[in-house]
A and B are shown apart, each in its own frame.
Chain A
């Protein structure tokens, strides 16, 4: 019997040696979601802009647009206000009061349209996560929805 085990062990070792020459090739059908590092990647991250398509250039703010404010309020009731109060009081997430003075509009739009990558990278968001313990969910806001929500936040802050 010992012979068999020794043989097995030898094969195992041989195999490991052989397989060391293997490639780092990705298997055929991965989900594309690689394991997320818990260490923020701050070197390439711009905390004033966030990660995403919105920039200071493509998000411009003018006078408050009442129709957009109203639409943004409706959207936020369904998708945001279960967790965020309009005051500065924390519910599940932080209250919205003052958010447009703390953050740029394009940062907010990047964050609310695709929160996960920014939670992974932004040191302030990581700190926030330690307080709230719930990752802000992706509520599938489209670009227009996000812009309207920002308009409503601006109105909320102007009062």
Chain B
């Protein structure tokens, strides 16, 4: 046994060396699941060189979004979205706190499941990337000029915003479908849980996106029967104007869903004609409902977020308003619901099914025209299964979850239970290739794999189980992503890389689309409209307003102005408004003060950020720059003197005066 292990290790050593050498002709034999010879060369991005793709990966229960370079798998940035991030002051600085406001108040955490790059005519345009908050339902928009969260909007009448943030082919709308059906918000919500069938409803938000500013607004909601909405995809090209949502728990169970929501042979994919819904809205059929939801925006000129509570939403009842929604039967609790690049084929992945049904958009249209219905579900027509079916992929694997496309007529579906990716032909429904994943794959990503023009060079599998793939780190392990080369006929595993949180869906785009989108490197100091900006050291000052002390502070390599402050008293609230006067790329300054009960500030060139500090004792408090900025970074520091309440120490501030008379 030991001997065998040694031998295996030796074999791996050889594989590694061979891999490094890029000698394809020397493929090792007898190495199960081995990476093949040229894998290292394929993922090697030399020091100083850039990756070919950006990969925007959901951070799951971290609440954040991570950005990786592909093919190297190098982590480039973690963008704070729904969770506080003390490293960047996100949710701690006065400017960013409003971004995490909700109708429930300040919420410091969420669960980010899916990302969606903005599109024009079905292609990635490099402007924004959207994300969903699963727990306290919200949508976020990250601006790809700054790689920062620019807007967060809360979703009323919703519980578990899982079926989100999928968008239409011009990002006209980003949708947000409720996973949990719940009674509508408001006083009518106090009902017995057992009255699910009567009182629980689904609400699907269509959130419009202004194509210039990116600003989001809830255009309307569709009120649907109470089921669980899982995932969604827009129609594209010929099916533009339609949206498809997978639904499970059509049993309408409210307890032990593991068993009770797995009773029926078929659940549904809900086809939504959103152009028809727009017509109803125009015709005034929308019903205004009183709700409360937060709408938070970050202003790049004032470097400050605002949060407003909005109080109204337009709702269309799809049981009453005909021709918006149709149910397509889909086997066994469908999870993924994916539309191919031509817009003709809709792939349903019944996670308990032993086959993959593929529906045809043309057949669906004919079925609707012919009224080929098989009854109704709470007022919504059910299309006859066979009438909409293009065909089934037979015995593809166990536990199909998600499908991405290469634009060459092939689909790639992840199989959770059998831990594999299966490549199959959409037209003739035959399996072409299969590759193991390590282990229990969830989502897949092909760059542009949800667009009309995929770039099918790589496929990334985001796995749920890691086990032995990396050096062990106790009970908790980084979750693994795996990169496959799909440029040939056969999928080839070429890299494992760890991720933050739990990766669910991710999208990737050619770097050129995002590098050349007008990304900014600094904030121009002359454009800084922050109410507490300090544009020169002459302007730096300390002002008392009652028990509030505003410090107008500037930072530049390598000093703060002012750096000596006296006259702060117990009971004061001190606001450090720190402006970074640098105007060069990659010269942030940090700011921290002893005893602050929140976090640091990290201030980009030309930006102003504010840290609130309430001293809890008298004494001398050091403050310093936390981001190594120059050879004299360690000199970038100062002191604040805190005196007792009622002290007569005058409020003074200074920089560079070493000889003040002690008081």
Please give the residue numbers on chain A whose beta carbons come within 8 Å of chain B beta carbons, in ascending order.
Answer: 1, 4-5, 7-8, 11-12, 14-15, 27-31, 77-79, 81-83, 91-92, 133-135, 137-140
Report the bound CA distance from A4 to B16 in whole Å.
12
Instruction: Tell yes or no: B651 within 8 A of A by CB.
Output: no
Closest 3 pairs between A and B when the two form their complex, measured CB to CB: A77-B536, A29-B50, A15-B21
Given A82-B536, A82-B554, A92-B558, residue A29 in contact with residue B525 (CB < 8 A): no
Given A77-B538, A92-B558, residue A30 in contact with residue B49 (CB < 8 A): yes
For A138, give the chain B residue with the smallest CB separation: B584
> What B residues does A14 contact at CB under 8 A?
21
Given A78-B535, A92-B557, residue A139 in contact with residue B582 (CB < 8 A): yes
How many residues in B have their beta carbons less than 8 Å from beta carbons of A? 45
> What A residues does B10 contact at CB under 8 A?
1, 4-5
Contact yes or no, B556 A7, CB < 8 A: no
> What A residues does B539 contact at CB under 8 A?
77
For B537, give the chain A residue with the smallest CB separation: A82
Q: Mark B539-567, 1 if CB is under 8 A from A, else 0.
A: 10000000000000010111101000000
Nearest CB of A to B91, in Å: 30
Given A15-B23, A28-B49, A77-B535, residue A82 in contact with residue B561 (CB < 8 A): yes
> What B residues does A31 contact at CB under 8 A?
48, 50
> What B residues does A15 contact at CB under 8 A?
20-23
Q: Mark B26-48, 1 if CB is under 8 A from A, else 0.
A: 10000000000000000001101
Given A77-B535, A81-B537, A140-B583, residue A11 in contact with residue B17 (CB < 8 A): yes
Contact yes or no, A133 B630, CB < 8 A: yes
> What A residues does B631 contact at CB under 8 A?
133-134
> What B residues does A8 contact at CB under 8 A?
13-14, 17
Nearest CB of B to A145, in Å: 9
Report the bound CA distance from A142 to B23 in whole Å.
52
For A139, give the chain B residue with the smallest CB separation: B583
Contact yes or no, B48 A137, CB < 8 A: no
Instruction: Tell yes or no: B524 within 8 A of A by CB.
Output: yes
Contact yes or no, A11 B21, CB < 8 A: yes
> What B residues does A28 contact at CB under 8 A?
49-50, 52
Contact yes or no, A27 B26, CB < 8 A: no
Nearest CB of A to B486, in Å: 20
Contact of B524 among A1, A81, A140 (CB under 8 A): A140
Instruction: Tell yes or no: B258 within 8 A of A by CB.
Output: no
Contact yes or no, B17 A12, CB < 8 A: yes
> What A residues does B561 contact at CB under 8 A?
82
> What B residues does A134 contact at CB under 8 A?
557-558, 630-632
Report the bound CA distance from A8 to B20 in whole Å.
11
Report the bound CA distance from A7 to B33 in whole Å.
22
> What A residues does B49 contact at CB under 8 A?
27-30
With most chain B CB atoms within 10 A of its CB, the pick from A30, A31, A78, A133 is A78
> What B residues does A82 contact at CB under 8 A?
536-537, 554, 556, 559, 561, 581
Instruction: Tell yes or no: B370 within 8 A of A by CB.
Output: no
For A93, give the chain B residue with the smallest CB separation: B557
Contact yes or no, A4 B536, CB < 8 A: no
Q: Mark B305-335, 1 if CB is under 8 A from A, else 0.
A: 0000000000000000000000000000000
Q: Mark B575-589, 1 if CB is under 8 A from A, else 0.
A: 000000111100100
* Prevailing SS type, chain A contact patch: loop
Contact of B21 among A1, A12, A92 (CB under 8 A): A12
> What B residues does A11 contact at CB under 8 A?
17-18, 21, 23, 26
Contact yes or no, B50 A79, CB < 8 A: no
For A83, give the chain B residue with the smallest CB separation: B556
Question: Assuming A15-B20, A27-B46, A31-B50, what are 4 further A-B pairs, CB within 8 angstroms?
Answer: A8-B14, A30-B48, A78-B526, A137-B582
Instruction: Tell yes or no: B522 within 8 A of A by CB.
Output: yes
Given A78-B526, A81-B537, A137-B584, residue A4 in contact with residue B13 (CB < 8 A): yes
Instruction: Tell yes or no: B6 within 8 A of A by CB.
Output: yes
> What A residues does B465 contact at CB under 8 A?
none
Contact yes or no, B525 A78, CB < 8 A: yes
Report the bound CA distance from A137 to B7 in whole Å.
57
Instruction: Tell yes or no: B477 within 8 A of A by CB.
Output: no
Report the bound CA distance from A140 to B524 in whole Å.
8
Instruction: Tell yes or no: B511 within 8 A of A by CB.
Output: yes
Nearest CB of B to A129, in Å: 10
Contact yes or no, B581 A140, CB < 8 A: no
Nearest CB of A to B228, in Å: 44
> What B residues does A5 contact at CB under 8 A?
10, 13
Within 8 A of A (CB), among B433-476: none
- What are 9 sample pairs from A and B whose C-beta atoms fall under 8 A apart? A1-B6, A4-B11, A11-B23, A31-B50, A77-B535, A78-B535, A78-B536, A78-B581, A92-B557
> What A residues does B18 contact at CB under 8 A?
11
> What B residues does A7 contact at CB under 8 A?
14
> What A residues does B535 contact at CB under 8 A?
77-78
Report the bound CA distance from A91 to B655 in whole Å.
11
> What A residues does B511 contact at CB under 8 A?
29
Contact of A30 among B50, B52, B556, B581 (CB under 8 A): B50
> What A residues does B22 contact at CB under 8 A?
15
> What B residues does A30 contact at CB under 8 A?
48-50
Report the bound CA distance from A81 to B537 in whole Å.
7
Nearest CB of A to B278, in Å: 42
Report the bound CA distance from A4 to B17 in whole Å.
11
Nearest CB of A to B392, in Å: 43
